[in-house]
Structure 1
């Protein structure tokens, strides 16, 4: 038994009590260098959240001095020094209010007002955040009490993430959004409480000396205070963890239903959205009859989290929908999901169709350029239409692409002129080009009559 105690003995290389007290008091200072660093950390975190830059946000976590006031509060509770506790809480409160107001000012002035995914990630804390804060607080308190400081503190600063939630709450103030303000501030208080509580436990294990005479009533009061605060902070996070787990399972089952049950031969799903118990699926291709929709509804109810979900199929023949209309469907669903912070599946769908729309946009840009320049270089050219063609091999896999140019001319071109025109278009398109040249007065849809092969 004694060997196990030696393995987990945290007293062995701890710093003297006087050094620990001095170190904690210095780290909790809110003036001088610490105040300047706090201001810089606030702006860095705000910019990182605004630009959705993880690297910048991590930098703000590393330099933030907020941990000092929280650990100092835990130390004051362990020593039962009410004066030290009050002083630490006043310092921490100043830092919190200052960070909220500074971040609110920044987000009021920045031209980028759309909340980033990094902000959204800090508005719904769960029980996992409690575990992170508790473990981080224990590691931070141990690292802060060693004779030689290690790299534990920076790691704890990144894991517990104190500054980003505060700046996100500042965004909530600027945007008049209680969802952002309340959710982010709740995450910050989870981190604060459990870092304080775990620091308190470590300082008690290290047996830091108690300040003066402490009555038994004070012991009981502090014990019940910690228990009540722990329940108040933890219970909502447990509920949020339950909700989050159910949502993840539900989203996974929706993806399985779309990819497996709605993998139809003559129709394709272009977008889908789950909204208040209704799964709306946009389909193009051969229309689905009522019997097929009923079969899909029955399949949907086979998934545990989707038993009460109603399937609504929005469909239209592919011939009645052009590319712009399909893109509008995807964009509308994507915009709606991003607004509700659950648009991952729509991003994946948009990426699936992104290649074809990117080619279409490139074709449009190329046509505009060709029609501006061609009449200057080739006066007989009146109009150029065209687009990218794909070639399939025997296995129906894309083998290559070429550009088809349909050219209307005012007179027949010589073979040499047609060759130079093809070479010029090929240079602009940066791919092989096939040309069909037609006279404007006698157009034909079956063959090209715009070249005089016998000049």
Structure 2
């Protein structure tokens, strides 16, 4: 046991108490260099959040002097120095208000007012943020009390992320968004309180001397206040963590349902979206029967977190939609997914799940080759268009490629022999029987077929 105490002894290489006090006093200063650095950190963090740049936000966290005032507050509580504690709280309050005003001014002037994903990530704190702040505060306090300062402090600054929530709260003030302001400021206070609390614990473990003698009753009163405040701050974050876990499990079950239960032979999912207790699924292919939909609804409700979710299937006919329309559907759903955090779309779904889309792409490739080689083999050919024809088995819900319909535009009428050779050649390129229609370019009409000189 004594060996373990030596391994975990944090007093072994700690700096003298007087040196620790001087460091904390210097780091908590809000004038001179620290004030200028604070202003720069606020602006950098605001720009990083505005531009959704993780690297810039990390840079702001590294240079931010906010942690100094918070650690000083923990030191004041540990030494029971009320005068030092009050000064630390005032300094920290000044930094907070200054950061809110500065970031609020920036966001009121910037032309980019849409909240970035980095901002959204700082409006819903959870219990994990409490754990991060506790661990970060302990590591930061230990690193700050060593004889030689280590690189722990920059890492703690990044992990606990004090500056971004404050700037996000400033955005909420500038935009008049109560949700943004309260969510972000709550995250900041979670980080601030638990960093101060963990610093308090480390300073007590180092047995920093009290500024003056206090009664046993006062000592227990402070302990009870800290525990009560910590409990009050933690409860909402635990509830938010519970909601986050539920949302993640629900989203995972939705993805499983779509990828497995809706992996249909005759139709393919283009996109899906869960909103207000309804799972909207866009499907392209053969129409699903009422019995199919009822079966899918039962399968959906078998999932634990989807018992009360209603299934709404939006169907599109595979024969009435082309490549461009499919891409428009996918792109539209992708745009909606950015606006709605519960929306999900497949970026590559057109090439992975949609058979008609792949067939259209294959047809386009064949037509490109035909138009490249045909004028060489058949000088009268001006252009070839066409597509694969499908046979639909309603009972088996299967679509089969039966032939390739080719529309050929010629400069002058072809002979039947040349037309037959052209038909056979196109068939070798498509690996399908070919239905050939030939039309003269100079005599367009409402019907096709005048492109062959049957007198030759």
TM-score, normalised by the number of residues in structure 1: 0.78
Quick check: 1:78–1:204 contact (8 Å CA) kept in 2? yes
The within-5 A match list for 1:125-140 is 125-140=125-140
Q: Larger deviation: 84-93 or 334-343?
A: 334-343
In the TM superposition, residue 328 of structure 1 has moved relative to its aligned partner by: 4.8
Query: CA deviation digits over 1:342-364, x for unaligned, max 9?
Result: 34x32xx134338979x99xx9x
3-state secondary structure, aligned to 1:10: coil
In the TM superposition, residue 298 of structure 1 has moved relative to its aligned partner by: 1.0
Distance verdict in 2 for CA 1:93–1:407, change over 3 Å: farther
- Structure 2 residue 96 is matched with structure 1 residue 96: yes
Find the counterpart in structure 2 of residue 63 from structure 1: 63
Query: CA deviation digits over 1:228-268, x for unaligned, max 9?
Result: 11111111111111110010000000000000000111111
Distance verdict in 2 for CA 1:91–1:280, change over 3 Å: same
Paired with 1:230 and 1:125, the residues of 2 have a C-alpha distance of 15
In the TM superposition, residue 319 of structure 1 has moved relative to its aligned partner by: 2.6
Quick check: 1:408–1:440 contact (8 Å CA) kept in 2? no
3-state secondary structure, aligned to 1:219: helix
Query: CA deviation digits over 1:286-322, x for unaligned, max 9?
Result: 0101100111111111211111111111112123344
Q: Equivalent of 2:347, from 326, 350, 355?
A: 350
In the TM superposition, residue 106 of structure 1 has moved relative to its aligned partner by: 1.2
Paired with 2:280 and 2:331, the residues of 1 have a C-alpha distance of 15
In the TM superposition, residue 43 of structure 1 has moved relative to its aligned partner by: 1.1
Larger radius of gyration: 2
User: What count of residue pairs does the alignment treat as equivalent?
Assistant: 387
3-state secondary structure, aligned to 1:115: coil
Paired with 1:124 and 1:190, the residues of 2 have a C-alpha distance of 11
Quick check: 1:120–1:341 contact (8 Å CA) kept in 2? no
Query: CA deviation digits over 1:271-290, x for unaligned, max 9?
Result: 11111211111111101011
Quick check: 2:274–2:342 contact (8 Å CA) kept in 1? no
In the TM superposition, residue 125 of structure 1 has moved relative to its aligned partner by: 0.8
In the TM superposition, residue 216 of structure 1 has moved relative to its aligned partner by: 2.9
Paired with 1:448 and 1:101, the residues of 2 have a C-alpha distance of 77
Q: Larger deviation: 6-15 or 277-286?
A: 277-286
The within-5 A match list for 1:369-384 is none
Quick check: 2:273–2:342 contact (8 Å CA) kept in 1? no
Paired with 2:306 and 2:136, the residues of 1 have a C-alpha distance of 37
- Structure 2 residue 20 is matched with structure 1 residue 20: yes
3-state secondary structure, aligned to 1:350: coil
Quick check: 1:279–1:309 contact (8 Å CA) kept in 2? yes
Find the counterpart in structure 2 of residue 441 from structure 1: 443
Find the counterpart in structure 1 of residue 241 from structure 2: 241
In the TM superposition, residue 446 of structure 1 has moved relative to its aligned partner by: 6.8
Find the counterpart in structure 2 of residue 227 from structure 1: 227
In the TM superposition, residue 218 of structure 1 has moved relative to its aligned partner by: 2.3
Structure 2 runs not aligned, ≥5 long:
365-381, 389-406, 413-437
Paired with 1:386 and 1:240, the residues of 2 have a C-alpha distance of 58
Paired with 2:57 and 2:451, the residues of 1 have a C-alpha distance of 61
Query: CA deviation digits over 1:13-39, x for unaligned, max 9?
Result: 000000000000000111111111111
In the TM superposition, residue 387 of structure 1 has moved relative to its aligned partner by: 11
Query: CA deviation digits over 1:124-161, x for unaligned, max 9?
Result: 11111111100000000000000000010011011100
Find the counterpart in structure 2 of residue 167 from structure 1: 167
Distance verdict in 2 for CA 1:75–1:290, change over 3 Å: same
Quick check: 2:45–2:164 contact (8 Å CA) kept in 1? yes
Quick check: 1:270–1:283 contact (8 Å CA) kept in 2? yes
Paired with 1:45 and 1:164, the residues of 2 have a C-alpha distance of 6
Structure 1 runs not aligned, ≥5 long:
364-382, 390-405, 413-435, 450-455
- Structure 2 residue 255 is matched with structure 1 residue 255: yes
The within-5 A match list for 1:400-419 is none
Distance verdict in 2 for CA 1:387–1:63, change over 3 Å: farther
C-alpha RMSD of the superposition: 3.0
Distance verdict in 2 for CA 1:328–1:208, change over 3 Å: same
The within-5 A match list for 1:58-207 is 58-207=58-207
Find the counterpart in structure 1 of residue 304 from structure 2: 304
Q: Larger deviation: 132-141 or 436-445?
A: 436-445
Query: CA deviation digits over 1:397-434, x for unaligned, max 9?
Result: xxxxxxxxx9989x77xxxxxxxxxxxxxxxxxxxxxx
Paired with 1:312 and 1:7, the residues of 2 have a C-alpha distance of 61
Distance verdict in 2 for CA 1:47–1:447, change over 3 Å: farther
Paired with 1:85 and 1:448, the residues of 2 have a C-alpha distance of 96
Paired with 1:384 and 1:162, the residues of 2 have a C-alpha distance of 65
